[in-house]
Structure 1
Amino acid sequence: MSNYSSTIAAIIEQTEALEKTLPLKNEACRSKFFFHPQPTAKVCLFFHGFTAAPYQFEPISKILFEAGYNVLIPLLPGHGIAGKWNSKNPPPLPTEREVYQEFALSWLKVAQSLGNEIVVGGLSGGGTLAAWLALECSQEINKALLFSPYLSSYNTILDLFVEILPIYYDWDGKPDTDTIGYGGFKMPALRLFLDMGQEIVERVRYYPTAPMLVISSENDKAIDPEDLKAFFESLMKKQSKSWYYRFEKFFEIPHTMMTEAEGNKYQNLLNALVKAYVLSDISWEQLLEIGYHMLQGKTFDAAVKELSLSEVVVPEVSNFLAILDKEIMIKAHK
């Protein structure tokens, strides 16, 4: 057996052995892996959302797998565990950020055992963790994909609620047995992501970071759009190859944006935006310049060729530009 075959076999076996001891709430909570039969330098590491599970990243993982990436979607610590969870017996979610941070660092090492072109990503709390990792290990990560990262709540009152009250929050309203992930949680388990998010907003102003794609939605009632916008503005001063897009209300895309099953009717469009960013190698300024040339009547291919970007741009970039605010392109050109 080759070293590569031994490595992926060990990852699968060790993960399965660990998850057998939990036990898992259901099959959707199991860690997911997409491995090519032959080695590839490209690896994606995804962290699922708070109280959710690895199933969230299956659709985009299949797209990136087809693009040549091995993909790892590990179950976050304390998540997806079977039990009769309620306010008197809350799920065993970590309440210390170090648990998640050590977990992220350990899985980064796993990813590095497979290749050296590393992309990390995550949704909500998983997006917060991916952002932390992109700052903590900026030289070891090629790109980060942040989907509605939880940096702060939609309103400040809720932030105070999260910070102060140690209550149990039944966010789903369904019996825990009817949900894939957890239907509720104790506030301290969420508080650590809020604290980590606020630290990230500060750190990105002063420290190096990997390039990031930041995606959110106007229909997202979980996160603060102003904090996220400020985060991106700070990010751009450190990493020009970072992109940002906020889906307009028209798309009706919720916080749980990764799958059609969780409310995103435009899952394929989201996947195209991700593919455009991951497989291209241009700055935000260059992206907007392509868009500006198209506003002047040029085709996408002609604009890319005229700007000498054909070797570093994939066709899916046209999807990104098609929905990007045209005023942004015009202002950037002035």
Structure 2
Amino acid sequence: MELIDACSRLLSHGGRTPRAVLLLHGYTLGPDQYDDLARDYFERGYNVWVPRAPHEVTVSSLTAYASEALDTVAGLGDEVTVVGISGGAVLATWLAQTRGDAVRHLLLLSPFFGPAQVPAWAVRPLTFLYGRGLLPDRITSRGYSLAAVTRYLTIVHRLPDPPRWTRLRSIAVAISETDGVVDPVAAVTVPRRIAEACGIRLLTWTLPSSLGVGHDTLALTGSEAAGLRKRYIELSEGRP
């Protein structure tokens, strides 16, 4: 493993490989969120790039970061998989729709396409008001800045509508039954529409409450953790 800029992770086999994966971490977390899954991908022959998101959370900084990360991973392997969790899943989806020339497989973990327990009709107005600074920023009990969160939702609202056909070969979603952060309907509806546009099947997996996993579906512990990560990789490869 090689550390880049003290935080980003590059796991390289020393040359271009048949497959490479880009792992985009969630808001408030960092590349270390992927340490175990990154190692698993590497052991399966992937070159792995886990970049650190910008500290300044704006729409332009987030999309530039994601696009530059994709350029990097496209040079590491012939076939590119993109995995994102929470806000990182928003950026992964944005890449799959705007950079469809490069992304072949997409795995979305706990995708934040809308907040839980907020009426759908209220999401756009709140996104506008907090995103433009018309309402003073507020920090939630989870430590989330509402202004920052709405920047991710702005990217969601800027996804092509209707979704574009791309050369995507597989798309999968994994969410937790006990996730209290994301809208579970939007988490599946957005990628399903993309799958339909691309003429492929959406794979979905709901982690049961018995696993004790909440919004962070990478926070896996115990004897089942390795098997669950293997399932993620299988989903990302389009294997139901």
**The TM-score by the shorter chain falls in which range?**
0.7 to 0.9
Amino acid at match of 2:165: P
Aligned partners of 2:48 and 2:176: how far apart in 1?
25
Q: Which among 132, 141, 151 is matched to residue 94 of structure 2?
A: 132
Provide closer, same or farther for how the CA distance between residues 69 and 192 of structure 1 changes in structure 2, counting only shifts above 3 A.
Answer: same
**1:293 equivalent in structure 2:** none
Shift of 1:167: 2.1
Q: Which among 93, 104, 107 is matched to residue 142 of structure 1?
A: 104
Aligned partners of 1:98 and 1:162: how far apart in 2?
16
SS of the aligned residue for 2:77 comes to coil
Q: Which among 179, 182, 185 is matched to residue 223 of structure 1?
A: 182
Contact between 1:253 and 1:265, CA under 8 Å: does it hold in 2?
Answer: no
Amino acid at match of 1:147: L
- Structure 2: tracts of 5 or more residues without a match: 130-134
| 1:43 matches 2:43 | no
Amino acid at match of 2:153: L
Once structures 1 and 2 are overlaid, which stretch shifts more, 44-53 or 242-251?
A: 242-251
Aligned partners of 2:76 and 2:163: how far apart in 1?
31
**2:216 equivalent in structure 1:** 256
Contact between 1:204 and 1:235, CA under 8 Å: does it hold in 2?
Answer: no
Structure-to-structure mapping, 1:1-334, within 5 angstroms: 15-16=4-5, 30-78=7-55, 93-94=56-57, 96-156=58-118, 159=123, 163-164=128-129, 165-172=135-142, 184-200=143-159, 203=160, 205-209=162-166, 210=168, 211-239=170-198, 240-260=200-220, 266-279=224-237, 287=240
Cα shift readout 1:96-135 (whole Å, capped 9, x = no counterpart): 2111111111111111222221111111001110110011
Cα shift readout 1:224-283 (whole Å, capped 9, x = no counterpart): 01112322431331231431112232333211111236xx8843233121222344x56x
Shift of 1:162: 5.7
Aligned partners of 1:188 and 1:155: how far apart in 2?
18
The TM-score normalised by the length of structure 2 is: 0.84
Shift of 1:214: 0.9
Higher relative contact order (CA 8 A, sep 6+): 2
Amino acid at match of 1:260: L
Structure 1 or 2: more helix by fraction: 1
SS of the aligned residue for 1:234 comes to helix
Please say which structure displays the higher CA radius of gyration. Answer: 1
**2:132 equivalent in structure 1:** none
Amino acid at match of 2:157: Q
Query: Share of identical aligned residues, percent?
Result: 22
Cα shift readout 1:165-207 (whole Å, capped 9, x = no counterpart): 43230534xxxxxxxxxxx35321111111222333xx36431
Provide closer, same or farther for how the CA distance between residues 109 and 236 of structure 1 changes in structure 2, counting only shifts above 3 A.
Answer: closer
SS of the aligned residue for 1:236 comes to helix
Aligned partners of 1:162 and 1:248: how far apart in 2?
31
Contact between 1:152 and 1:198, CA under 8 Å: does it hold in 2?
Answer: no
Amino acid at match of 1:208: W
Aligned partners of 2:202 and 2:100: how far apart in 1?
13
- Structure 1: tracts of 5 or more residues without a match: 1-7, 20-29, 79-92, 173-183, 288-334
Provide closer, same or farther for how the CA distance between residues 224 and 266 of structure 1 changes in structure 2, counting only shifts above 3 A.
Answer: farther
Shift of 1:53: 0.5
How many matched pairs?
229
The TM-score normalised by the length of structure 1 is: 0.62
Provide closer, same or farther for how the CA distance between residues 230 and 197 of structure 1 changes in structure 2, counting only shifts above 3 A.
Answer: same
Contact between 1:123 and 1:147, CA under 8 Å: does it hold in 2?
Answer: yes
**1:295 equivalent in structure 2:** none
Shift of 1:156: 1.7
Amino acid at match of 2:90: T
